[in-house]
Amino acid sequence: MARVAVLDRDRCKPKRCGRLCYRFCPMIRSKVEAIKFGEDGYPVIVESLCVGCGICVRKCPFEALHIVNLPD
**Cα–Cα distance measured from residue 66 to residue 52, given in angstroms and rounded to the nearest whole number:** 10
Range of the domain at 10: 2-70
Average of per-residue pLDDT across 45-56: 96
Neighbouring CB atoms inside 10 A of 4's CB total: 18
Phi, psi of 54 (to 5 degrees): 90, 0
Quick: pLDDT tens for 25-42.
999 999 999 999 999 999
Tally the domains of the chain. Answer: 1
- Contact between 60 and 9 (Cβ < 8 Å): no
Q: Please state the rounded mean pLDDT for residues 47-64.
A: 97
Say which CATH number the domain at 63 has. 3.30.70.20
Under 8 Å between Cβ of 5 and 45: yes
